[in-house]
Chains A and B, each alone.
Chain A
Amino acid sequence: MELKSNDHFDAVIIGCGMSGLAAAIRLAMFGRKVIILEKHNAPGGLNSFYSFDGRKFDVGLHAVTNFVRPGVKGKPLTKLFRQLRIDRDEFALCEQKCSKVAFPDVELNFSNDFELLVSEIEKAFPNQIDNFQKLVKAIHDFNEFDLEDKDRSAKKIISQYITDPLLVDMLLLPLMYYGSAKENDMEFGQFVIMFKSIYQEGFARPFEGVRTIIKTLIDKYRDLGGMRKMKCAVKKIITQNNNITALELENGDTITADHVISSIGLVETLQLCNDQKTKAEQSNIGKLSFVETITILDKQPKELGWNDTIIFFNDWQNFEYQKPKELVDPRSGVICMPNNYQYENNNELDEGVLRVTAMANYDQWTSLDEDHYAKQKKIWYDTLALKAMSFLKPINNDSTNDKDKLDNLKKQTVYVDMFTPRTITKFTSHLDGAIYGAPNKVKNGKTHLDNLYICGTDQGFLGIIGAMLSGISMANYHILQKN
């Protein structure tokens, strides 16, 4: 579309990720003149997709969380379909097979049936099961969508119920990996959201991956007459008397709007405002970043006896969720095999995929020169591949040393890729590669400016479904409900 300088909009949405798209759909649905401005050429943000060497990749997608089956009402997924007026079939969600949390000496399997987790805890932690049930009751009674809720430590509250620190760590690991912006803890409301979305609801994935979801959102938005401008970064937010007066774009144009919703992150947004210091809120930049290795296999994982959908692992005596001192902390992480979903008609992805995620140090990755960057990627690819193998059925029972184990994997490998914190910042502009954004969220989305609101990652609803709900809530709360 053509954007003219001095164009005026009811609302401008900064960022065409999940939250920005959802917010924009809501506003367009009710006749607001709305435009999405996106820095990149592709939509999707942190959960986009790309092609390389003729292969299609998802940037992130391990699992769409919050899965509930058709007919289940009143859950985030169903609210989302209603609010966006999308038929659930359009997301084409297929359920996971089975996932697990694996620690030294103990494993907990879980699936989209919560009872499995309960029975696993009963088996592995018989004297904690009553405590666990009490925690579940407390979670049930909590209103996690209270936008004015205070920040409290999840670890503290959980430990009031569960007295075995190992079980606390095991329950927290998947939730932290899939959505904590804080080191070694979570905000309790965030814990409740993640607990429900992962353990009590569940995992699913469209056969075609995140493309299906993004395409559905883009089509919906277009059908509603919404406008979208790609490769169009917002460069400066011009303010006066606690209001935005104009947005200056990278291409030199200036536009105006009654309301602006930004999905690019809190600190990232503040640093665009001309009434803020360039280093505004620096201490609220997230510290947690990640690497992920992607291994394309010449066979389906199940042919190697790898049947889990996702394995959350830790092989240290306790679980540390913090910025590592080295480039990567390989002691814990997440293994995902997108093949292991129950696709319709027993469909199978063309190739086997093994993804391994671990925490990484942004500063260290970004201080490497090109040569060392490439070398370190190779070193850490091997380290993480080996680590993953220690949680998977051996490819060849005879191989005992690391080199043989890696060689065995490499024999099944047709392609590898890896992203680092540097990649994340390059493609999503999130400062310090912090996927989960700022540790201190703004739940009500308010900023120092009356007509600027935050949605998505830094409003505090995380993940694909969370981000969309965040966009919806902020559009409702700050714009639709107001007049």
Chain B
Amino acid sequence: MTKEACKQIVLDIIAEIAPDEDLSDVKSEIKLRDQLELDSMDFLDIVMELRKKHGIEVPEDDYPQLESLDSCANYLIPKFEAVNA
């Protein structure tokens, strides 16, 4: 899985859980919280959707790994590959 594909999966989830956010210009390296109005409830939903749609588990202690699109990709790609293997 490419980094771009993984980031797109995360962006698609954000589009679904926060339809009132403009996602046209989200910067990969900047914290999502600093460019979008997302709170801990929204991050919970990102985690819940990753599990529901893709069978990926993110334990509570790992939530900080989801802070930017880049960190999401780094953290999630091995998990996607494990699930798809």
Contacts and interface: CB of A to CB of B under 8 A. Distances in A.
Interface of A: 29-31, 71, 73-74, 78-79, 82-83, 85, 472, 476, 480-481
Interface string B62-79: 000000000000000000
Nearest to B63: A481
B11 interface: no
Contacts of B51: 30
A481 B45 contact: no
Given A73-B20, A481-B60, A82 B52 contact: no
B45 A74 contact: no
A464 to B, nearest CB: 19
B44 to A, nearest CB: 6
Interface of B: 17-18, 20, 37, 39, 41-42, 44-45, 48, 51-52, 60
Given A73-B20, A82-B17, A30 B52 contact: yes
B5 to A, nearest CB: 24
7 contacts: A31-B52, A78-B20, A82-B17, A82-B41, A83-B41, A476-B41, A480-B48
A29 B17 CA distance: 12
Contacts of B42: 82
A82 B18 contact: yes
Given A73-B20, A85-B17, A481 B44 contact: yes
A476 B42 CA distance: 11
A73 B20 CA distance: 9
Given A74-B37, A79-B39, A476-B41, 10 more contacts: A29-B48, A30-B48, A31-B52, A71-B20, A73-B37, A82-B42, A83-B45, A472-B41, A480-B48, A481-B60
A481 B45 CA distance: 10
Contacts of A74: 37, 39
Nearest to B49: A30
A83 B45 CA distance: 8
Looking at chain B's contact residues, the main secondary structure is helix
A71 B20 CA distance: 8
B38 to A, nearest CB: 9
Contacts of B41: 79, 82-83, 472, 476
Nearest to A31: B52
A28 to B, nearest CB: 12
Nearest to A29: B48
Contacts of A31: 52
Contacts of A472: 41
A473 to B, nearest CB: 8
Contacts of B45: 82-83
A70 to B, nearest CB: 8
A83 B18 CA distance: 9
A219 B39 CA distance: 26
A472 B45 CA distance: 12
Contacts of A73: 20, 37
B71 to A, nearest CB: 20
Contacts of B60: 481
Nearest to A473: B41
A71 B21 CA distance: 9
B52 to A, nearest CB: 6
B12 to A, nearest CB: 15
Contacts of B17: 82, 85
Nearest to A83: B41
A82 B16 CA distance: 9
A9 to B, nearest CB: 19
A480 B52 CA distance: 12
A472 B52 CA distance: 18
Contacts of B37: 73-74
A227 B60 CA distance: 29
A253 to B, nearest CB: 31
A480 to B, nearest CB: 6
A476 B44 contact: yes
A259 to B, nearest CB: 16
Contacts of A476: 41, 44
Contacts of A480: 44, 48
Choose among B41, B42, B48 the residue with the greatest number of A CB atoms under 10 Å from its CB: B41
Choose among B17, B37, B60 the residue with the greatest number of A CB atoms under 10 Å from its CB: B37
A261 B52 CA distance: 23
B3 to A, nearest CB: 27
A87 B37 CA distance: 17
A193 to B, nearest CB: 16
A303 B33 CA distance: 50
Nearest to B40: A476
User: Which 10 A-B residue pairs are closest in the complex by CB-CB distance?
Assistant: A73-B37, A30-B48, A74-B37, A476-B44, A82-B18, A83-B41, A30-B52, A481-B44, A79-B41, A480-B48
